[in-house]
Amino acid sequence: MPNGISFADAESAYNDADVCIYGIPYDHTACFRAGAREGPMAIRRASYNFERSHFEHGRLPELSVFDYGDCDDFFYPEDMIDEVMFAMGNPIRDGKFTVAFGGEHSVNIPIIRCFQERSIALISIDAHLDSRDEYMGAANSHACIMRRAAEHLGLDNVYVLGVRSVADEELDRDDAVPFVSAYDILDNGIEKAVSLALDSVKAEKVYLTVDIDGIDPAFAPGTGTPEPFGLHPYDVKKAINAIGDRLVGFDVCEVCPPADPTGCTAVLAARLAKEAMSVYARRL
Ligand SMILES: [Mn+2]
């Protein structure tokens, strides 16, 4: 690791690895409270809390995991985007399962662009629809990630779960990004919402991005823009398992350690990353 500790049990060299982990400590378009740049290291530290494997998945083959470390701390989103595309292009082209830690949610923009054949769908778990054309003059803001993904993958390959904060300008348009609200999920269950999303998107392969603010602030208080009435953490575990064999990559963003004094938000993010890797290990 060039800059600090690696994720727990990430002991492989790149060439031998099934999974490639990457940290993107970027938070310069944050609008409410910044600090997500400290997310990747807090999540790695939290990862040492857990057993190597999780018994509910049965005996899975042991994963070979490589931790690439973090990219530099850039100011302009465009510089971050170039660097992430350079770093993550290789593992994605090489067919590795990628796990990324933000940083704010804008770090997802370059990851999705690395899928140059555009044959994936993006499912996002987020309190916010994040589908503006631009926000405060920035097209690559965290508030625009689903719009950028829809431009790259098609509107029929994006879906958001857990939404409870949307601007009128995001709804009053013909190409609104499809979503299931947190209220609907709390009333009717995550299973229904995930199967709706999986049936709606065109691509077979699914990349899952989790903005930790999709989860209720009671469970994940350490984030930049907390929003009440969110999902239960177990809903997100179930969603990862329901995507199952279709899952090709995962990231978790918006963990903000300065707002997370107990560290429980980073622990949850680390555990969700381990869940995604366990689901991936089933197919080896
Ligand atoms: Mn959000």
List, for residues 186-206, the tens digit of each pLDDT value. Answer: 999 999 999 999 999 999 999
DSSP assigned state of 165: B
Q: Distance from the CA of 29 to the center of ligand 1, in angstroms?
A: 13
Q: Distance from the CA of 225 to the center of ligand 1, in angstroms?
A: 7
Mean pLDDT value of segment 155-173 = 97
Q: Distance from the CA of 196 to the center of ligand 1, in angstroms?
A: 21
pLDDT at 191: 98
Q: Distance from the CA of 256 to the center of ligand 1, in angstroms?
A: 12
Whole-Å CA distances, 255 to 154, 190, 210, 215, 267 = 28, 22, 10, 11, 10
31, pLDDT greater than 80: no
3, pLDDT greater than 80: no
Q: Distance from the CA of 281 to the center of ligand 1, in angstroms?
A: 28
Q: Distance from the CA of 9 to the center of ligand 1, in angstroms?
A: 29
User: For the chain, what is the mean pLDDT?
Assistant: 95
2, pLDDT greater than 80: no
pLDDT at 152: 97
1, pLDDT greater than 60: no
Mean pLDDT value of segment 25-54 = 91
Higher per-residue pLDDT: 77 or 162:
162
Name residues whose C-beta falls within 8 Å of residue 229's C-beta, 6 or more positions apart in sequence: 164, 182, 183, 186, 216
Mean pLDDT value of segment 62-70 = 96
pLDDT at 37: 95
For residue 246, the surrounding DSSP H or E stretch is: none
Q: Which two tokens stand for residue 59?
A: 């005996």
Q: Which long-range contacts (CB under 8 A, 24 or more apart) does 53-58 make?
A: 53/278, 54/274, 54/275, 54/278, 57/278, 57/279, 57/281, 57/282
Which amino acid does the sequence have at 121? Answer: A
Q: Distance from the CA of 30 to the center of ligand 1, in angstroms?
A: 11
Q: Distance from the CA of 97 to the center of ligand 1, in angstroms?
A: 24
Mean pLDDT value of segment 262-280 = 98
Q: Distance from the CA of 143 to the center of ligand 1, in angstroms?
A: 8
Mean pLDDT value of segment 21-26 = 97
Decide: 151 and 250 in contact? Cβ < 8 Å.
no
Mean pLDDT value of segment 224-241 = 97
pLDDT band at 146 (very low <50, low <70, confident <90, very high): very high
Q: Distance from the CA of 213 to the center of ligand 1, in angstroms?
A: 5
Lowest model confidence (mean pLDDT) among 22-31, 41-50, 170-179, 245-254: 22-31
pLDDT at 226: 96
Q: Distance from the CA of 204 to the center of ligand 1, in angstroms?
A: 25
176, pLDDT greater than 60: yes
Decide: 131 and 176 in contact? Cβ < 8 Å.
yes
pLDDT at 118: 85
Lowest model confidence (mean pLDDT) among 29-33, 222-226, 259-263: 29-33
Mean pLDDT value of segment 72-100 = 95
Paired with 249 in beta bridges are 98, 207
120, pLDDT greater than 70: yes
Domain annotation for the chain: domains and CATH numbers = 14-281 (3.40.800.10)
pLDDT at 98: 98
pLDDT band at 34 (very low <50, low <70, confident <90, very high): confident
30, pLDDT greater than 80: no
Q: Distance from the CA of 174 to the center of ligand 1, in angstroms?
A: 22
Q: Distance from the CA of 160 to the center of ligand 1, in angstroms?
A: 11
Q: Distance from the CA of 226 to the center of ligand 1, in angstroms?
A: 8
Q: Distance from the CA of 76 to the center of ligand 1, in angstroms?
A: 20
